[in-house]
Amino acid sequence: MSRMDAYASAAGLSSLRSSDTKAIRIWANNYMFGEVTGFVVAEDSVSICAARTELHESIETIHSASCREVPNWKNLKALLSKIEELSRFDNMRVGCGVMDGTGYAVDGVLNGRRFSFESNNPQECSDEVSKAMVETLNLLPEDSDAP
């Protein structure tokens, strides 16, 4: 099971399928505190999920996540328009050597094709993937946007 599927399972979500049209899930893992925040975006909805993880002898355990919908989120169309750009980074794992911080696991589907990639500490890096991630992260809702 991929990390993205494990996060989805912890949140009670099914894995993305190639039959889905357009969706993206961004899972932010704060390595220092073991906190995972998920942004689950579909064509007509956005939810924020929160989970905790534990790392013991190189094995990560993901605990159940709770999710809440963000009604009438203003950046939905802008984020959905980023999916095509993000899909180009399929199967990549990028970072620039910064330790700790936050790692992002991105899982999406566009026109029946599933893609996924990971970006570690993109705010500290200058590569193309990191720049696209920072632009995307700036569009995401904040916890205060959710009820």
Structure confidence by residue, pLDDT tens digits, 60-91: 667 778 899 998 888 999 999 999 999 999 99
Burial label, 10 (beta-carbon count in 10 A; 0-12, 13-18, 19+): buried
Q: For the chain, give every domain's residue range.
A: 3-145
pLDDT tens, position by position, 10-39 = 888 888 887 777 999 999 988 777 788 899
Mean pLDDT of 2-13: 83
Q: What's the confidence (pLDDT) of residue 78?
A: 93
| Stated length of the chain | 147
How many whole angstroms separate alpha carbon 24 and alpha carbon 22?
Answer: 7
For the 3-145 domain, the top CATH level (class) is alpha beta
